[in-house]
Chain A
Amino acid sequence: EVQLVESGGGLVQPGRSLRLSCAASGFTFDDYGMHWVRQAPGKGLEWVSGINWNSDTIGYADSVKGRFTISRDNTKNSLFLQMNTLRAEDTALYYCAKDSLPYDDYLIDAFNIWGQGTMVTVSS
């Protein structure tokens, strides 16, 4: 079964850091781009960051550029999101999502598999 399981969320004070992880199983992880998409409480979906299959293409939303860093470890089938200088507006459920197309030249074709999310709350 194809599965994505996020972890690492929690309550953190503004200005502090947090590292999210996503464990993948059931597919050849190093063939696919991976992404983080977030959803603030009661709001819509917002793409945060993506990384292609071999890590040579990486993108960030303007709202997190310079503060967040995406990475992957293909030997451990894992995706990560290092979040620094967190702000109240970063409070959201963070989903890990898989690209539908292997070796995708465009970084994203579509998000065909989603995890259940990990909640990040930034508050003093």
Chain B
Amino acid sequence: QSALTQPASVSGSPGQSITISCTGTSSDIGSYNLVSWYQQHPGKAPKFMIYEVNKRPSGVSNRFSGSKSDNTASLTISGLQAEDEADYYCCSYAGTSTYVVFGGGTKLTVL
């Protein structure tokens, strides 16, 4: 059981937009703007996609965006492309006892 809750799967057609939710608590997402998102293709290491809720590292497409409301963070991918098909994980700082929590991951299928 993961500390952050994500849907197991989402899907969309090329060109569409999808949103992946990540629900935590007032001890993690609700208290800190330190939410990050990672993309993982099969057999590969995770790739850093979003940090500090809504910031994009250089080199990451502007089709990827992040947001947060209360205890829930979201990742939106617009203009879906075949290469976006992957697993996506959210992550949050959770204070000086727990430190870091991950979501269980969401499998994105591009139809």
Contact = CB atoms under 8 A, between A and B. Distances in A.
Interface of A: 35, 37, 44-47, 50, 59, 62, 95, 100, 106-117
Contacts, number: 72
Contacts of A37: 46, 102
Contact of B48 (A45, A107, A112): A112
A109 B52 contact: yes
A44 B103 contact: yes
B101 interface: yes
A59 to B, nearest CB: 4
Given A100-B48, A115-B45, A116-B45, A108 B102 contact: no
Contact of B99 (A107, A111, A112, A114): A107
Contacts of A116: 45
A106 B103 contact: no
B5 to A, nearest CB: 12
B45 A117 contact: yes
B57 A47 contact: no
A46 B40 CA distance: 14
B45 A110 contact: no
B10 interface: no
Nearest to A59: B99
Contacts of A112: 48, 51, 57
B46 A108 contact: no
Contact of A109 (B34, B99, B102, B104): B34
A44 B87 CA distance: 9
Interface in B70-111: 87, 89, 91, 93, 96, 98-105
